[in-house]
Structure 1
Amino acid sequence: MDANKISVVINTYNAEKFLKRVLDSVKDFDEIVVCDMESTDNTVAIAKEYGCKVVVFPKGDCVSAEPARTFAIQSATMKWVLVLDADELVTLELKEYLYEHISHKDAAEGLWIPRKNYFMGRFMHSTYPDYLLRFFIKEDTTWPPYVHTFPIVKGRQEKIPAKRKELAFIHLANENVRTMVGKTNQYTESEVEKKKNKNYGIAALIYRPMFRFFKSYILKGGIRDGKAGFICACYDGFYQFIAVCKILEKKYRKEI
């Protein structure tokens, strides 16, 4: 296993929309592994066209890529792994930064990488730097099978400075309200499992959405993003409301 080589790992399901652009952005890495969850569109054909190593993980009841992450990582053959979603671009500056990083003997085993998110065509200050632990050594790394989780990496971790915006992932999924609401039902199901031991009361239906709105709009700067920032902050509060509703429903539901 070459210590100075990097595998790019991309989890996919019906990801043809952005996949060519994503693969173009990582074509100069040493290996590209596409872990597909039984796509029904042209995702696999595109991956093969680019010479990617394609592995398949049964979709089953999965609503996110997380259950397949560990399998995908273990399918890579290089010492270092960069994990991408199928709607994220890697800049040339980030690629060069990663190879420079692994050239040092005392390189941190994990790197948190910032990501630029967009909504209604605007860069969202309220979500930046949106740090993701996506670059790490392959050995002994695992990933919990729940949505919005991070890998468990043995060793030292560092963050790429947020001010280095040229090193951030570019998130192509310029989401609209329809898409966000559609994902809400899927993602909050996983939230219920992750937070099953939380002792929420009815008051959480009020204070958690309100705090999330305040955090997004005021503390994280969504107010600078105009109407898009206000809508996004409202959605963040709505997401929390639905998540808490489902947690309380599971806790108090009685069979008829």
Structure 2
Amino acid sequence: MHNTNLTAIVLTRNEEPVVKDCLESVKWADEIVVVDHGSTDKTLEVVKKFGVKIIVEAPVYSNFSDRRNLGAKEALGEWLLYVDADERVTPELKEEILHTISNFKFQISNFVGYAIPRKNIRLTKVLYHGGWWPDYVLRLMRKDKLIKWEGELHEQPKIDGEVGKLKEAFLHYSHRGSLEHKLQNTINWSEIEGRKMFNAGHPPMNIIRFLSAMWREFYYRMIKQKAFLDGTEGVMEAFYQVFSVFISYARLWEMQQKSEKEKK
């Protein structure tokens, strides 16, 4: 054990195939807290076999921010490291985290939080273009400086103090290389995205708005961020993101249509 007083907080939901490797990558932490959101596979069995002592069962209707806040509430560490089940802390990142915490302890640095880059592995390949690198996520922070996490999807922490950046990266096995898994995630997340836009009073969807939204995504991924430089996988992922945007707006369209019918 390292005397850093660090708690690793791992969020899970049906992560049986990947959670063990995730836990292995943070086993050096002083404490591990797992926040599970209704897993129906053997995720919790794997977690318990690994020896994790603090397992929090999140409410059914909790969102990502709620679950991250639950993890912070249970954590005893002075520092919190948030890791998703499909992410891995490399040995290089581990050493940088330990060095960073040590610097704070000896007042060499005043940052109270750190954004960590991610190497996104999509369709079995690390993507460095198309907007996927460096993909900084704010995941390392002092517990006493964390105000709260906010946001239903793409949640962000509010921190009282300055935030720095680390150089070493998470490995992010996004969608685990499976199109079936990608599609299932898109189905789940698009409902949340559509609901957010609907609740915000988004203008009624029409042909122009559909085409405009998809063109913006295509331009950003393929032209501005040069997704084609990552080869076939980069191009496939860029087009998939255009499709994902379409599905989110199609969900919005469905909600708008239903709302109009209910008014009649």
Displacement, 1:193?
3.9
Aligned partners of 1:42 and 1:181: how far apart in 2?
22
Displacement, 1:32?
0.8
Query: SS of 2:156's equivalent?
Result: coil
| Aligned counterparts, 1:87-106, within 5 A | 87-104=86-103, 105=107, 106=109
Query: SS of 1:44's equivalent?
Result: helix
Query: SS of 1:216's equivalent?
Result: helix
Query: SS of 2:138's equivalent?
Result: strand
Aligned partners of 1:186 and 1:94: how far apart in 2?
31
In structure 2, the partner of 1:239 is 244
Residues 36, 54 of structure 1: 8 Å contact kept: no
* One-letter amino acid of the structure 1 residue matched with residue 172 of structure 2: H
Displacement, 1:33?
0.8
In structure 2, the partner of 1:117 is 120
Residues 64, 155 of structure 2: 8 Å contact kept: no
1:43-95 superposed Cα distances (whole Å, 9 cap, x missing partner):
22322233223323245245x64431111121110111000111111011111
Displacement, 1:10?
0.2
* One-letter amino acid of the structure 2 residue matched with residue 190 of structure 1: I
**Worse-matched range after superposition: 233-242 or 137-146:** 137-146
In structure 2, the partner of 1:177 is 179
In structure 2, the partner of 1:168 is 169
Query: SS of 1:15's equivalent?
Result: coil
Query: SS of 1:240's equivalent?
Result: helix
Unaligned runs of 5+ in 1: none
Q: Percent identity?
A: 30
Aligned partners of 1:152 and 1:251: how far apart in 2?
32
Aligned partners of 2:13 and 2:127: how far apart in 1?
26
Residues 114, 128 of structure 1: 8 Å contact kept: yes
Aligned partners of 1:151 and 1:47: how far apart in 2?
26
Aligned partners of 1:65 and 1:46: how far apart in 2?
22
In structure 2, the partner of 1:17 is 17
Give RMSD over aligned pairs. Answer: 2.3
Displacement, 1:233?
0.8
**Worse-matched range after superposition: 5-14 or 117-126:** 117-126
Note if 1:128 corresponds to 2:130.
Answer: no
Note if 1:78 corresponds to 2:84.
Answer: no
Displacement, 1:119?
2.2
Q: Kindly tell me: are residues 208 and 69 of structure 1, through their superposed partners in 2, closer, same or farther at Cα, counting changes over 3 Å?
A: same
Aligned partners of 2:177 and 2:59: how far apart in 1?
23
* One-letter amino acid of the structure 2 residue matched with residue 68 of structure 1: R
In structure 2, the partner of 1:34 is 34
Residues 9, 84 of structure 1: 8 Å contact kept: yes
In structure 2, the partner of 1:207 is 212
2:231 corresponds to which of 216, 226, 233: 226
Q: TM-score, normalised by structure 2?
A: 0.85
Displacement, 1:240?
1.3
In structure 1, the partner of 2:156 is 150
Displacement, 1:251?
4.0
2:189 corresponds to which of 187, 195, 202: 187
Residues 38, 60 of structure 2: 8 Å contact kept: no
* Aligned length in residues: 249
Q: TM-score, normalised by structure 1?
A: 0.87
Aligned partners of 1:38 and 1:180: how far apart in 2?
20
Aligned partners of 2:250 and 2:12: how far apart in 1?
30
